[in-house]
Amino acid sequence: MATVIAYQRLFEIRILHEYYLLGPNVLSYFDLPKTERDTHFRNRVLWNQYHLRNDLLIEPDARTTTILKGLKWHFLPTLAGLSLAASAVPFQLSNGTTAKKPAISPSSGTQLLFYIRLRNPFFQNFTSIPLRRSLFSPIYYFSNNPSSVKGADFTSLSASVAVLEAGKQYEMGELARVGGVLKEAQQNTDGTNPSHWRDLSGDGYVNESDRICLPKVFFYPFAASDNIHTAIFTLKKPDGTPLPPFTVNSDGTTPLTEVAVHFEPRPPDGLYLLNINTGPVQKDLNVFLTDAYDPTALGIVHLDLDVTDPTYRILGAEDEIRNENADPAGKPIPPVFEIRLRSRKTIWRYLSYFNNRRIRPDGLADYLKQEDNTAITLAPQPYTLLPIGISSPSPGISPVSLPNADPAALKPRPPDLLYSDIRTFRTNGLIEENI
């Protein structure tokens, strides 16, 4: 007789992207109550309106594949991310209640890594992550580290957004905190002008504090104009213990521009504070160094099975499978960890299909203004799969139905804005063309 093995999900990692979740009736998905968010997400999946698997591939690294095989845990790609399942056996907790645990429990020190890879070349066009590239190119790092953001009804794998640094260059759409308030840049800015920012509700979004994953040998850039001739790089463990530093000196005449940083002995995989000392100026950066770094990946998900924080741990205190509650059918719901992606916002510019014709936004002064022969939105608008129309920057004014921008239409408008061009005929008499 065949033996039936019962498998149970241990947890789920859900990548929630506003591009697929916003729509005519949902203009601020992450502000909805949890039950409404869950229902709306399930509906988008059931209606085949959540196409994240067309954009991203999630897969375990080679070492994790070996670990999962040994544990007889199964990696399950989902429409929104991944889940792990294990064969479950019943046992009794110390308080006398009955629970289930994996048939094979992980040993102490077990770490799991999963790559997030791009499938869609336009993914960054409609996702609010910086477009800039530099020699110093960490990839995103998402973790169940207890310092990650957790709200009253969600658990994010992202780090908290950093405090605004005046003088630092921010791209349109980047996030920063000012006096504890989360803000979004409305244009490229150096952070010194308060009018360049708007308040943003919600929390736990992917941001530049997450872009910290590096290889154990990496390049660090200096500007020639900084005239740096000596630099000392020091790693500190989370408890503050420093590792042997790496020091580099110029030839005495030409300043340092790019430095290949390599610590000896090589540090183990882990989170560190990287201190860069160039004499009068010092800089501290959070970094995650790993042999699994892959520059072709968008990011890495790192799960530490030794984490004991009750919100972020993978298994319970007695290695039991955690069940948050049950769905309407009575099936147990495992913990859900979120990666929250925001849609990119751009200024939308309406142009005529015909050359030398003018778009005139008559009757739409709350939404559009004239710019040469085009009409542009008064406020940045989010890319969405389902059209939601054009929003006004003024509170209390409902969106108006106008053609939405395609992510392929993204283009910079120097010096400080991103535009999306939309070519159109007359639209319901609202946008008129004059020759």
Strands 139-143 and 299-304 come out as parallel
pLDDT in tens, the chain (435 residues): 444 467 899 999 999 999 999 987 777 899 999 999 999 999 999 999 999 999 999 999 999 999 999 999 999 999 999 999 999 899 899 998 888 999 999 999 999 999 999 999 999 999 999 998 777 789 999 999 999 999 989 999 999 999 999 999 999 999 999 999 999 999 999 999 999 999 999 999 999 999 999 999 999 999 888 899 999 999 999 999 999 999 999 998 999 999 999 999 999 999 999 999 998 889 999 999 999 999 999 999 999 999 999 999 999 999 999 986 666 666 778 899 999 999 999 999 999 888 778 888 888 999 999 999 899 999 999 999 998 889 999 988 989 989 899 999 999 999 999 999 999 876 655 666 665
Residue showing tokens 């996030």: 175
Domains of the chain and any CATH numbers: 7-123+296-341 (no CATH), 216-288 (2.60.40), 345-434 (no CATH)
Residue tagged 């085949």 (tokens):
48
Look up residue 166 and give its two tokens: 């005046």
> Residues near 32 by Cβ (< 8 Å), separated by ≥ 6?
26, 40
Dist CA 210 CA 350 (whole Å): 35
pTM over 0.85: yes
CA distances from 210 to 339, 342, 388 (A): 11, 14, 30
Between CA 400 and CA 431 the distance in angstroms is: 12
CB 419 within 8 A of CB 413: yes
Which tokens go with 345? 């916002």
